[in-house]
A and B are shown apart, each in its own frame.
Chain A
């Protein structure tokens, strides 16, 4: 079965660049969610060279989702970009689950926003019966980030990015809409976000965000072969965000000639450059 997933992953993301540096995994129990998460960590090759140096952080959602394997893809992209000098050294932490099949089920609990629209709820009630993105956000804020700060030499929230695709992209935009509370992240990279969720309530939520008190960047993408729902909502969100002209928000929208599954690799590659581009 594992080889089958690897084959399918190859078809989707192609051959990801090899991951350089040091990798490790650990489990973290969450009281906020009432479950445990598997964390995948990639430390850059120069992490152990200077014990006083701190590093920027990329938090990658859906780390071990079958077919996409987003932690490996992003860590590989970061490795390649660092080697060419296009990117300064970054730590990549993937938030995943104990197994791939479990990831497919539990991501709908953690990344989906609670549904309010009755029509939408009727269709998605069975797919996401326990949609609880706020609890997952609380896990990131109260449990994951303190754990990572204790374990690794991080630069802090002003140099921390959240990356997500599809439902992970939806959660990323949701996290951006909470930027004012106590910023966990300074950058948000949302690839093909499922903005349609719950009659696009997250768009309304983001629009209600007042002028930011700290700088943030938002990089949002879609695939031109995804169809009208993904493209339409991302384009509408992009137009509205540009129109709001928040001084503290650096915003960019790009699209690629790919389908829904194919948008991860180019989005996260360009997202790394958009967020932390330029070697030191």
Chain B
């Protein structure tokens, strides 16, 4: 398996760009997992663009820009057992809009981008607590939002001329006071060039 991956990695990328300019655009759909005050799962949709800046076909670098829209769900059921026999249900909902800008180094089929990102995160709480002994049955709602900045590591592996496997690790500057953002997020998905 690892030999196959290595062979693919070292093989020449199909139709790799060789001229400067707006060299690539693609649309990416990915699954996301986050870890913060709670675990979260969700997805993101990203529009990616890459301008070739230097190098040749086998190794080159470029300016990369991505616009991302994401959603993550934090089910309270993930932690409900901690509070048993009380019951905790519902979920937190986190929506994000980020812009990332950075440099992407491409070697053969593999591209590794190191980006900064800035954007907005909205957290909406929607949960319920039930405690039979005390007769408690309370709905809890709340919301908060904040500017989010941080760093992203973005790796892509070209499977075909147009299709790439894409993974990102986001490291937002955490605001532990609010817990609106995850401390770290990771995504894995597929991007299709157009």
Residues of A within 8 A of B (CB): 8, 11-14, 67, 117, 119-120, 123-124, 196, 199-200, 203-204, 224-229, 231-233, 235-236, 257-262, 265
Q: Bound complex: CA of A196 vs CA of B125, how far in Å?
A: 19
Check A199–B138 contact: CB distance below 8 A: no
List the B residue with the shortest CB-CB distance to A266: B177
Select from chain A the residue with minimum beta-carbon distance to B126.
Answer: A228
Task: Find out whether the CB atom of B85 lies under 8 angstroms from the CB atom of A119.
Answer: yes
Query: In whole angstroms, how far apart are the Cα atoms of A119 and B85 in the complex?
Result: 6
Q: Does B55 contact A (CB under 8 A)?
A: no
Contact of B177 with A12 in the complex, beta carbons under 8 Å: yes
B180 contacts partner chain A, Cβ-Cβ < 8 Å = yes
Contact of B140 among A124, A200, A231 (CB under 8 A): A231
Cβ contacts under 8 Å, B81 to chain A: 123
Give B contacts to A, CB under 8 Å: 37-38, 76, 81-86, 88-90, 92, 123, 125, 127-129, 131, 133-134, 136, 138-140, 142, 144, 174-180
Residues of B near A119 (CB, < 8 A) are 84-85
**Contact A260–B179 (Cβ < 8 Å):** yes
Known: A117-B85, A120-B84, A199-B133. A11 touches B175 (CB 8 A): yes
Question: Quick check: A200 and B179 within 8 Å, CB to CB?
Answer: no
In the complex, A67 Cα to B177 Cα: how many Å? 11
Report the separation of the CA atoms of residues A14 and B89 in the bound assembly, to the nearest whole angstrom: 32
Of B38, B136, B174, B179, the residue contacting A232 (CB under 8 A) is B136
| Complex interface: chain A residues within 8 A of B90 (CB) | 228
**Known pairs A8-B176, A262-B176; A257 contacts B144 (CB<8 A):** yes
Measured between beta carbons, the chain B residues less than 8 angstroms from A259 are 37, 176-180
Which chain B residues lie closer than 8 Å to A231 at the CB level? Answer: 129, 138, 140, 142
Contacts of B37 in A (CB 8 A): 259-261
Given A228-B125, A229-B86, A260-B179, 13 more A-B residue pairs with CB atoms under 8 Å apart are: A11-B175, A124-B82, A224-B125, A224-B144, A226-B179, A227-B38, A227-B76, A227-B127, A232-B138, A258-B179, A259-B178, A259-B180, A265-B177
A-B contact count (CB 8 A): 108
Q: Which A residues lie within 8 Å of B177 (CB)?
A: 11-14, 258-259, 261-262, 265
How far apart sit A131 and B88, CA to CA, in the bound complex (Å)? 24
**In the bound complex, how far is the Cα of B85 from the Cα of A124, in angstroms?**
12
Task: State A257–B177 Cα separation when bound (angstroms).
Answer: 9
The residue in A123, A225, A228 that gathers the most chain B C-beta atoms within 10 A of its C-beta is A228
A120 touches B85 (CB 8 A): yes
A229 and B134 contact, CB distance less than 8 A: no
B175 touches A199 (CB 8 A): no
State whether A232 touches B129 (Cβ < 8 A): yes
In the complex, the answer to whether B176 meets A236 with C-beta atoms within 8 Å is no
Among A11, A229, A260, point to the contact of B83 (Cβ < 8 A): A229
Which residues of chain A are within 8 angstroms of B174 by Cβ–Cβ distance?
A: 11
- Are A228 and B76 closer than 8 Å at their CB atoms? yes
Residues of A within 8 Å of B136, CB to CB, are 200, 232-233, 236
Task: Please measure, in the bound complex, the distance between the C-alpha atom of A117 and the C-alpha atom of B178, giving whole angstroms.
Answer: 32
5 tightest CB-CB pairs across the interface, nearest first? A259-B179, A232-B129, A262-B177, A228-B127, A224-B142
Contact B84 A200, beta carbon cutoff 8 Å: no
Q: Is the CB of A261 within 8 A of B129?
A: no
Instruction: For A8, list chain B residues within 8 Å (CB).
Output: 176
Residues of A within 8 A of B127 (CB): 227-228, 232
Interface centre among B125, B142, B176 (most CB of A within 10 A): B176
Name 13 interchain pairs, CB-CB below 8 A, sorted by A.
Answer: A196-B83, A200-B136, A224-B125, A227-B38, A227-B127, A228-B128, A231-B129, A232-B140, A233-B129, A236-B131, A236-B138, A260-B37, A262-B176
Indicate if the CB atoms of A258 and B178 lie closer than 8 Å. Answer: yes
Interface centre among B38, B123, B127 (most CB of A within 10 A): B127
Nearest opposing residue in chain B for A207, CB measure: B134
Q: Closest CB of chain A to B182's CB: distance in Å? A: 12
Q: Which residues of A contact B86 (CB under 8 A)?
A: 196, 199-200, 229
A260 to B139, CA, bound (A): 18
